[in-house]
Chain A
Amino acid sequence: MSDHDHDHDDHAPTREDDDLELTEGEARFLALKSLLIEGGVMTADEIRARMEFNERGSPHQAARMIARAWVDPDYKARMLADTKSAAAELGIEATEAALVTIENTPERHNMVVCTLCSCYPRSLLGEPPAFYVSKAYRSRAVREPRKVLREFGVDIPDAVDIAVHDSNADLRYVIMPMRPQGTEGMSEEELAALITRDSVVGCALPVEPS
Chain B
Amino acid sequence: MSEAEPSYAVGDRVRILDIGKPGHVRTPTYIRHKVGTIERFCGMFENPEDKAYGRWGLPPIPLYRVQLKQDDIWPDYDGAPGDVLEIEIYDHWLAPAGETT
Contacts and interface: CB of A to CB of B under 8 A. Distances in A.
A116 B86 contact: no
B65 interface: yes
Nearest to B86: A165
Interface in A146-173: 146-147, 158-171
B42 A170 contact: yes
A141 to B, nearest CB: 10
B9 interface: no
Contact of B88 (A108, A158, A163, A169): A169
B28 interface: yes
Nearest to A162: B83
A137 to B, nearest CB: 15
Interface in A116-156: 116, 142-147
A133 B78 CA distance: 24
B98 interface: no
Contact of A116 (B26, B63, B73): B26
Contacts of B87: 165-166, 168
Interface size class of chain A, counting residues whose CB lies under 8 Å from the partner chain: 20 to 34
Contact of B43 (A98, A115, A146, A166): A98
Given A98-B43, A163-B85, A168-B87, A144 B28 contact: no
Contact of A144 (B78, B82, B84): B78
Nearest to B90: A169
A161 B79 CA distance: 9
Contacts of B80: 146, 158-162
B65 A171 contact: yes
B53 interface: no
Given A115-B28, A169-B63, A170-B63, A163 B74 contact: no
Nearest to B85: A164
B85 A144 contact: no
A162 B88 contact: no
A145 B28 contact: no
A82 B67 CA distance: 21
Nearest to B42: A171
Interface in A162-197: 162-171
Contact of B83 (A145, A166, A169): A145
A146 B78 contact: yes
Contacts of A158: 79-80
**From A108, A115, A143, A147, residue with most partner B Cβ within 10 Å:** A143
5 contacts: A161-B83, A163-B83, A166-B28, A168-B87, A171-B88
Interface of B: 26-28, 30-31, 42-43, 45, 48, 63, 65, 67, 70, 73-74, 77-80, 82-90
Given A162-B80, A166-B31, 8 more contacts: A116-B28, A143-B30, A143-B77, A147-B78, A158-B80, A161-B82, A165-B86, A171-B88
Interface of A: 97-98, 108, 115-116, 142-147, 158-171
